[in-house]
Chain A
Amino acid sequence: MTYGGRNLSSVFSWLTWTLAGIVGLLVFAGFAGFIWLPSAQKDLADSGLWTMICRAAGARSTWMPPPLAASGKAASNVVLNRATINFGMPNAAADGARRGTSLAQSCNACHAGPAATQGMSPPLAAQYPEVVYKQLRDFKDRNRQSAIMAAMTATLSNEDMLALARHYGHQARAPLLGDTDRVVPEIVQVGSPMRNIPACVSCHGASGRKFGAPSLEGASTSYLSAQLHQFANGVRRNDINEQMRSVARRMTEQEIVEASNYYSAAVKPSAP
């Protein structure tokens, strides 16, 4: 018999030997990977042969103690996407703007003017709409803790919060100082790559802007440093991927001071 003009027996011997070699290799590698290797790890070896094989194969198991596996409350209920912010507004833009303007009256006492640049409430003019919206929702849902803001947001509807977000997004920002005549702290400009800390500017503007990251310019030193400390010690935990908690935990006290001072002094002082 022939196959492609060749003797069939030669095809068979190639098939047999190749298959035998590969199956042998698989069996050995399988034995080593699924039995031998895991058996060297005490917690796996104690769990019995079948469990050991399943775990080595990556089968789901609940090895983590339940209280840790389910760590309670979600960091935030807000799913940020551009559609929510752009199109989730009340239909008539003008109507939405009026609504935002009137709602903002009660916010401005703390979030505009000198109160906003000196106290514990950040200025909101020109803040990105998705930032304002998310923080309002998080305050309302008690995912970000503040007795005052919990009360202020209690009566706001989803449309109210969207309208406020758009209102502040459309306001003019305080003029920036620019970096030409002052030193930018290292933590702000380059971060600390060896400690896995990205530069502030890579998300918070100047060189990169990530959706959901606030602009920080003009907020008071005390507000900024308090937020960094709260992220570091876990009091504030509404960053869903722990991006700010991871960064703040690794920052030194000196870096927190430098970053806070830099951003609070980033706007031109307003005329008296």
Chain B
Amino acid sequence: MFKSKALVLAHFWTAFLIFGGALLLGEWQMYARGPLHAWRSDPEVYYRSVTGHGTVMAYVFPTLIAMGFGYAISELALKKPLIGLRWAWAGFYLLAIGTAMALLPVARGEASVLYTFYPPLVASPFFYLGIVLLVAGSWIWVVLMVLNLSAWKHEHPGETVPLAMYGNVAGALLWAWTSVGVVAEILFLILPVALGLKETIDAGLARVLFSWTLHAIAYFWLMPAYIAFYVLVPRAVGGRLYSDRMARVAFALFLVFSMPIGVHHLFADPQIGMGFKFLHAALSAMVAVPTFLTVFTIVASLEIAGRLRGGKGVFGWIKALPWKDPAMLAVTFSFVMLGFGGAGGLINMSYQLNGTIHNTQWVTGHFHLIYGGAIVIMYFQIAYELWPQMTGRPMVSARARCLQLWLWFVGMLLLTLPWHLTGVQGMPRRMATFDYTAADLRPMAWSVAISTVGGAVLVLSAALFLIILYRAQNLRKEGDRDFEFSRALDISEHVPGALNGFALWIGLMIALTLTNYAVPIVQLATTPGSSVPAIPVGSRL
């Protein structure tokens, strides 16, 4: 790497430290509303904690990872110094200030509205302004990624954009467009009320604007993991990427299909017509396409590795894989969790089946399994891969890393599988208190207790992870070494123009957003009398 080592390290350290703090909050919440002790505390403190946990985990942590990884990719894949290093630092500080500004009112109990805001609840304006600043910081990253790619293209006319950078910029563009929803909701609907200029708020419209961001943000979290699947894992396990072109198709399809599907979060909302709900459900199903493409391509890449290592026969190559290599474990665990989570997701996005689990703990279980499991475990692996490159020091033993990944995998399954079960049994989400002596709730007590234990295992794993990173940074310096991305089997082949740029996919992304969102938004914005009185949170005289 050239100039951005400190920049990337700053992003990663900040991300993982704040992640550790938010993880402790999460485990406390699990304990607080679980059956392992009698609840005699303040529900408001619970919601305060949930808001802190969600704000960090949804906005701060993955954004910092995507940004840090993006800067690293830009230098490593394009093999040139990052353009706009100062701006990148400015973006980092903006994000840090925004985070502090958002979390302070949360800690003071003035913003217990959860990271999804839930108007007509209205929090301290600093909370929302903090989020806007944070997003603004990330927009600087988006601009820099696009600028760096176009500068490279200018210097290398006609050449194929490196796959890592292609995926990286796809993620940046996706974030740029999807974050427009939440920023519009804050600036036009919530802030005027939070600042006291208005007393009522159009909660229905606000929810629609948030859904614009809410689903695609999950694919923004996913992008670094997918990039790692394609450009890090095959090399790390000693194989080849089965298809570079398939990877590009997957990234392009995420750009197209992440956006026009957010209303599947609003199936129970009365302000949206059933036609649009169905349309969003149908397009949600399309996200399975890039997901299956990825699973197929990566498993094929692993098979190549297995056969290169001497594996024979139909299943012999699986045995030959390097099962004591952290990269191998990370991708396996990630796929298992993606499989369980994805299967559950099919129920969430189905207009009819959703009714059976809507707003239950099933949903919490689902997104923790996909995001906290399949995605975050790849964030760990990304850090393990990049650390020697950024610090110039070797990584600590593979055994410690494997133990950490095992703990995370087991902890996450213990946390989320019982959570799904309690959801099916009907336990609602977003509740601070449950009385497990009640007859309806007694059967759920054991599974909630197991989840609490799972959370504790996750805390252990995260602690070990931070120790590993810290230890690795204090090993003896080895000096710089070259960084290699996976080599693809089809790299010599011609890449179609559509898969070397983004014009077509951005066009489709915007067009599908318009077909799926324009009517509901215009309709709600022009409906008179649709606002309700705002409910200030933490209001005391």
Contact = CB atoms under 8 A, between A and B. Distances in A.
Contact of A83 (B196, B276, B278, B519): B196
A30 B279 contact: yes
B256 interface: yes
Nearest to B39: A190
A253 interface: no
A93 interface: no
A109 interface: no
Nearest to B161: A4
A10 interface: yes
A34 B435 CA distance: 44
B276 A33 contact: yes
A57 B440 contact: no
Interface string B241-279: 000000000000000100000000000000111111111
Interface string B506-541: 001000100100011001000100001101100111
A20 interface: no
B268 to A, nearest CB: 14
B533 A58 contact: no
B272 A58 contact: yes
Contacts of A22: 256, 508, 512
A11 B500 CA distance: 10
A215 B438 CA distance: 28
Contact of A79 (B199, B433, B435): B199
Contacts of A3: 497
B440 A194 contact: yes
A181 B428 CA distance: 33
A6 B496 contact: yes
A59 B158 CA distance: 49
Given A38-B275, A56-B273, A186-B435, A193 B498 contact: no
Contact of A211 (B276, B428, B540): B540
Contacts of A208: 42-44
A29 B275 CA distance: 9
Interface in A56-107: 56-60, 79-83, 85-86
A6 B275 CA distance: 40
A54 to B, nearest CB: 8
B450 interface: no
B435 A128 contact: no
B169 to A, nearest CB: 14
B159 interface: yes
A82 B536 CA distance: 9
Interface residues of A, number: 57
B460 interface: no
A119 interface: no
B453 to A, nearest CB: 22
B306 interface: no
Nearest to A22: B508
Contacts of A186: 435
B501 interface: yes
B205 to A, nearest CB: 12
B287 interface: no
Nearest to A17: B498
A190 B435 contact: yes
A177 to B, nearest CB: 17
Given A22-B512, A33-B282, A208-B43, A191 B277 contact: no
B434 interface: yes
B157 interface: yes
Q: Which of A18, A193, A211 is most buried by chain B, counting CB atoms within 10 A of its CB?
A: A193
A207 interface: yes
B96 interface: no
A216 B271 CA distance: 36
Contacts of B501: 4
A94 B497 CA distance: 78
**Closest 6 pairs between A and B when the two form their complex, measured CB to CB:** A5-B158, A58-B273, A33-B278, A56-B275, A6-B497, A29-B282
Given A56-B274, A57-B519, A58-B276, 14 more contacts: A4-B500, A5-B159, A14-B504, A18-B498, A29-B282, A37-B275, A56-B273, A56-B276, A60-B527, A81-B536, A130-B541, A193-B428, A202-B44, A207-B44
Interface of B: 39-44, 153, 157-159, 196, 199, 256, 271-279, 282-283, 286, 426, 428, 431-435, 438, 440-441, 494, 496-501, 504, 508, 512, 515, 519-520, 523, 527, 532-533, 535-536, 539-541
